[in-house]
Structure 1
């Protein structure tokens, strides 16, 4: 009887170790940081109303681009002194300084 108990217990332990493999993952440190808006410019996620309240009325509201299909949401651009704010629908996606050099 004792031997049967030991054999059953051993087989249960083996089966449970095979059924639940340990999970492993690697973290790749690239040194890259999440992009942030420069000081004095609206940050990602702000609504149009929040931008207008915090930064005032834009110098110019450029015509809407896109919006002709679900895969092409409307993109709005507001020009301020020294930078442009890009909105997807009504939320900030980028704020770009006018004198920013192009990325290569």
Structure 2
């Protein structure tokens, strides 16, 4: 019985040492990179952030358009931003913002 208890203790001990790291969503990403804010028009986004590398045509109802930049993607409903998201890639691969 002592041997079984010892084995169980040895197996479970590393699990008690695990550390959980939580990064609030607002703190993820790149310092100095400002994503287009919700509600901006396509014209405002283009004037503030430059031309997108790829502009996908609108699809669906309501029409959703996607513009792809090097570090992020912007989604529009009609001509207004509804969401901006960082591209998933290692932090070292992001380009340094020129703003």
The TM-score normalised by the length of structure 2 is: 0.55
Unaligned runs of 5+ in 1: 1-34, 67-71
In structure 2, distance between residues paired with 1:99 and 1:45: 23
1:82 to partner: Cα distance: 1.2
1:65 to partner: Cα distance: 1.0
Determine which of 54, 57, 62 is the counterpart of 2:48: 54
How many residue pairs get matched? 59
Query: Which structure's CA Rg is the greater one?
Result: 1
Give RMSD over aligned pairs: 1.8
The TM-score normalised by the length of structure 1 is: 0.52
> Which structure exhibits the higher relative contact order, with contacts defined as CA atoms closer than 8 Å and separated by 6 or more residues?
2
Q: Say which structure is richer in helix.
A: 2
Runs of 4+ residues deviating >4 angstroms: none
